Chain A
Amino acid sequence: MSNRTDRGGLSRRGFLKGAGVAAATTALLDRSVEALAQENKESRSVVGPGAVAITLKVNGQHKDFQIEPSATLAEVLRVHADMTGTKIVCDRGSCSACTVWIDGKTVCSCMTLAMDARGREIKTIEGLAQGEHLHPVQEQFIEHDAMQCGFCTPGMIMSCANLLERNKQPTLDDVKQACSGNLCRCGTYPRVFEATLAAAKQMKGGNGNA
């Protein structure tokens, strides 16, 4: 869980905890309840109810939104920004279909309040390719058929592409670890592994066949 960014005052986890709802499984929490409570106390600025104006930097562009403070980043991307590449499957942090990058780290956007993404660099699946030029992971996903229905695919790609940012020579186990939170019901995992290793090779430096 070390790569799940969750700084700032209004994390959805804090929100859920505060509301007394233990929706997130404890295994998913990377910090103690005390720490969260302390943090909430420190940043108790009152917003809402009702829409508030925020600006988010998505794929390098600043965008203004009027959102409920309780809105998740996933919801804002999909509904307000019309960027539906990011999928919502469980809406509670158990499938990683909603994976985006915040400040270069993967997060579940369904578990991140949009408010908490202010001032951060958000990257979504729509921003991974450079214009017409696909990211090597995207290219290799097509080449290796690392998709069936494709619903998990954006989240899968965001996890695997992020791995290659951090690790230029991943092993098969590294890839499995990187997408271990991404559920795929169609069973594309073996091809996801192949594609990601091939992408590492394509980006030079990967051994690609570990």
Chain B
Amino acid sequence: MPDAQISDKSPAAAPVPEKPPIPQAAAPKSGGEKPETESNMYPVGIAGVDIHQSRRDVPEGEPPPLAINDQLKSIGKPTPRVDGRAKVTGAAKYTADVKLPGMLYARMLTSPHPHAKIKSIDTSAAEKAPGVKAIHLLDHTFGMAQEKGEEGNKYPLVRFAGQPFAAVAADTQQHADNAARMINVDYEILPFVTDIEKAKQNDAPLVFAGQAEQKGTAGGGGGPAGLSQSGNVRGPAKGGNKQDGGIDDAFKDADVVVETEYHTSVQTHCALETHGFVADWKPDLLTVWASTQGTGSVRDELAAVFNLPKSKVRVITEYMGGGFGAKFGASNPGVLATHLSKKAGAPVRLMCDRKEEHLGTGNRPSSNQKYKIGAKKDGKLVAIQCTNYGTAGVGTGAGATAVAQNIYPCPAIYTEDYDVFTHAGPAAAFRAPGHPQAAFGFEQSIDELAEKLGIDPLALREVIDQSEARSVERKIGAEKIGWSNRKPAGSDAGPVKRGIGMAQAIWYRSSNRDSHCEVRITQDGSVELLSGVQDIGSGIRTVLAQVVAEELGLKPSDITIKIGDTSYPNGPGSGGSVTTNSITPVARDAAWKVKQEMLKQIAPKLGARADDLTLADGKVASKSDPSKGMSFKAAAAKLDTEQIAARAQRVQDYPVTEDQQQQQPQLAEGGGQRRRGRRGAGSGGLGGVQFVQVAVDTDTGVIKVEKVVAVHDCGRPMNPLTLTSQINGGIIQGLSYALFENRILDRNTGLMVNPNLEQYKIAGAKEMPEIEPIVIEQYWGRSSTDAAGIGEPATVPTAAAIGNAVYNAIGVRVRQTPMTPAAVLAALAQKDSSNGRSA
């Protein structure tokens, strides 16, 4: 399988200084004064295309500009994971593996009914069951929309099958499982609705009788607040520049109009490690091991629920087995585990089982998107309209119009998103919330527009797309996939037809200012970095080691990375692809500061000036007198005290001027695109273009994805090895979404019929295409590392690209996910019958 291609060519233009200029004033001014800025030149542009120097006024105390990757030693080099050994030997301890002395095991009790009132709960038999130590009943369900005025009820109303409301802790898992079954619940069963079309009708059973709201999460779940609600339909959430009217008029200027419709099904996250917690309640400290994407978010929720100061809650996530957006906060299992631990006076482990995981811990909402797109003959967009209805079950946030709103500039855009409540598990943020479904609809609609205009889909995007990165990516990808050999739709002879398609991604380059690090150097020469940030599999642990190693002239393996613990400085939650953008500049800032301190202390001992010293290749050396120098270890031994340390926090993105924004629209705050993220430190756009080759068997309806070429940008690539792993992952989840995944609810019982991993099919080894991930190196000059994320953009366009390739293969659109064999055959049959009619 080909590896990543990180351009290692020297940039064609604009030389980068050999050594970054030393800023005039390095040390921050002491107290009270207005922060000063200093002005430096930063590399900006795309490596191999054009790199030039651009001026930025940055806060004083920032490290000097970092050269582009090919001039660096650690950053940008493919670096195997520093925790690889722990992972391949089974030594890595996940929450599911934590075992404390005297620890109890818990099992939740969940509702078997989709809609019911709990009249009474009898726990007497369960209390007497063998090994039982504690039982807790919830008076509130977390992680779903809340109806105003319901807070006083003794038991929460059951609104979906799988809703947890109690848990038992016992000495063994088997005892806990048995006892949970012995809790007697008297339900008053109520009428329910799980079908979105039925739920929209006036006489449908109501999921929420009154106004319901759901707070957004750090990962981007939940929907906008305060929308109108009528029956089960909430919305519209409006978007675009024509929210106050005028969209109909705008279409008058169009030479060509396409109207399209696309549907996507509900997808569940299926992280291999389920949601789970080990809670250890002690009077002076609550310690919780959590399988989470945000140690801070778990701490914050538990502190609020149990009325504890945040300083008395410690959350630890050393390793976690996948989250994909659904693992923020403590939610029901975390709150239950903590209650049980408090009651039992012993640590309690609560891991959801696979069925609970499917039913109640989150999903990607469905969508039903209707588009109307108008364009001039030359392809220029004049108007875009989209209406979407989706269900997030008992949650909100089924929006799927973000791609239509944000990817291509257009003088008239109007979108409406409606959430339709159903008696089904709540949605949660899921890798690029709203975007894969939106791209599936919108990027296929753009191909439909291209066809109607008689313009090649790639050529149309050259006309409508402003993104410099995507333009470069299209060229690279088109070449690799052999776009020029692409045949007319459905033109292959024989039953197995091949096709090529492409689609584009949009995501946002956002970050979280709540990102802190401490870097320490100890006299024995050891170096460590501490931060609350967690590694959810993206490899941030390794990237942090690279950053510190780069600054201190060491190897990544020399750096000890201690993360995933709220007793370290606050780390960002890993949602919205913010982690690398948020925390790597902080790591560099802290490493640079501690380096300055080290050089200051060592300089007199070497008889040199501190600003004449450098750290490189494991040594301290004088720039002017090469005879003066010593190993890093020897230098550390000469520190004045046992340990020196520096802390840093994420600064705002370096500001850019109006002129610079005009030259590069993506540099703009928001970049004409939505600003996301909690306490964002600034944002801009990310692109990504994927090309797909498929083979469709028109006899069986089976789609085989044969090849994917994915060309992405994420600012400065930090670790090409783990980065391309994430791109593979995004593509594979997108492929799985496009072809297989569907949470099936039986409309007669309201129950999920496939809450497992054999009937809820996710992509496996046999379905793997050849995948070629390619990363372009793009510099913005916006932070001390200039890095951005990749996890989400990599999954945005895949399903859409497969859809476009399928159309190219068989000449008919399959307008839904999953594109099952049955759906393919149905689409082919429809085409045949309409051909028959017209003939």
Binding site for B on A (CB under 8 A): 25, 27-28, 68, 70, 75, 78-79, 82-92, 94-95, 97, 124-126, 128-129, 134, 138, 141-143, 145, 147-154, 157, 175-177, 179-194
Contact = CB atoms under 8 A, between A and B. Distances in A.
Given A176-B768, A185-B762, A134 B88 contact: yes
A181 B758 CA distance: 10
A89 B272 contact: yes
B87 interface: yes
Given A25-B758, A78-B97, A142 B90 contact: no
Please provide the 10 A-B residue pairs with the shortest distance between their CB atoms, ordered closest to farther.
Answer: A85-B90, A151-B321, A149-B537, A187-B732, A187-B729, A84-B97, A142-B84, A150-B87, A148-B537, A125-B90
A148 B88 contact: no
A103 B626 CA distance: 62
Nearest to B542: A145
B90 A154 contact: yes
A42 B385 CA distance: 71
B343 interface: no
A188 B725 contact: yes
A82 B103 CA distance: 13
Nearest to B794: A187
B768 A189 contact: yes
A190 B707 CA distance: 12
Contacts of B756: 90, 92, 94
Contacts of A150: 83, 87, 92, 319, 321, 537
Contacts of A191: 1, 725, 728
Interface in B311-332: 319-322, 324
Contacts of A134: 85, 88-89
A125 B725 contact: no
A147 B758 contact: no
B757 A126 contact: no
Interface in B576-634: none
A126 B86 CA distance: 10
B88 A187 contact: no
Contacts of B155: none
Interface residues of B, number: 57
B525 interface: no
Contact of A90 (B83, B354, B537, B771): B354
Nearest to B79: A145
A145 B272 CA distance: 18
Nearest to A159: B765
Given A126-B90, A189-B765, A145 B725 contact: yes
B728 A183 contact: no
Contacts of A179: 765
A27 to B, nearest CB: 8
A210 to B, nearest CB: 12
Contacts of B270: 185
Nearest to B720: A145
Given A149-B537, A157-B88, A188-B725, A79 B173 contact: yes
B469 to A, nearest CB: 23
A27 B99 CA distance: 35
Contacts, number: 177
A149 B81 contact: no
Contacts of B210: none
B85 A151 contact: no
Nearest to A89: B272
Nearest to A71: B174
A192 to B, nearest CB: 7
A141 B538 CA distance: 15
B771 A190 contact: yes
Nearest to B353: A91
A58 B122 CA distance: 44
B686 to A, nearest CB: 19
B722 interface: yes
B96 interface: yes
Nearest to A173: B766
Contacts of B273: 87, 89, 149, 151
Interface centre among A75, A85, A151, A193 (most CB of B within 10 A): A151
Interface in B746-787: 756-759, 762-766, 768, 771
B303 interface: no
A196 to B, nearest CB: 11
Contacts of A141: 84, 87-88
Interface of B: 1, 80-81, 83-85, 87-94, 96-97, 99, 173-174, 269-273, 319-322, 324, 353-354, 536-539, 721-722, 724-726, 728-733, 756-759, 762-766, 768, 771
A95 B88 contact: no
A145 B90 contact: no
A142 B81 CA distance: 7
A184 B91 CA distance: 19
Interface centre among A97, A125, A150 (most CB of B within 10 A): A150
Contacts of B83: 150
A184 B725 CA distance: 12
Contact of B87 (A129, A153, A185, A190): A153
Contacts of B321: 87, 149-151
Interface centre among B725, B726, B733, B763 (most CB of A within 10 A): B725
Nearest to A155: B272
Contacts of A124: 90
B768 A149 contact: no
Contact of A176 (B94, B271, B766): B766
Given A86-B90, A90-B354, A189-B732, 17 more contacts: A25-B758, A79-B173, A85-B91, A90-B757, A90-B758, A125-B89, A128-B89, A147-B87, A149-B273, A149-B536, A150-B83, A180-B764, A182-B764, A185-B271, A187-B729, A189-B765, A190-B771
Contacts of B538: 148
A43 to B, nearest CB: 23
A149 B765 CA distance: 17
Contact of A183 (B87, B269, B762): B762
A147 B91 CA distance: 14
Contacts of A176: 765-766, 768
Contacts of B319: 149-150
Given A148-B538, A192-B765, A142 B272 contact: no
Contacts of B726: 148
Contacts of A25: 758-759
B570 to A, nearest CB: 23
A87 B97 CA distance: 9
Contact of B322 (A75, A143, A151, A154): A151
B816 to A, nearest CB: 23
Interface centre among B90, B97, B729, B757 (most CB of A within 10 A): B90
Nearest to A25: B758
Contacts of A129: 89
Given A185-B762, A187-B733, A192-B765, A89 B87 contact: no
Given A143-B80, A149-B536, A151-B272, A180 B89 contact: no
B497 to A, nearest CB: 23
B90 A187 contact: no
Contact of A188 (B96, B174, B729): B729
A148 B537 CA distance: 4
Nearest to A141: B88
Contact of A180 (B724, B733, B765): B765
Contacts of B93: 84
B764 A84 contact: no
Given A142-B85, A149-B320, A154-B90, A97 B272 contact: yes
Contact of A95 (B272, B725, B728): B272
A148 B94 CA distance: 13
Contacts of B766: 176-177, 180
Contacts of B536: 149
Nearest to B320: A149
B272 A184 contact: yes
A189 B766 CA distance: 9
Contact of B1 (A86, A148, A177, A193): A193
Given A83-B90, A179-B765, A194 B99 contact: no
A151 B321 CA distance: 5
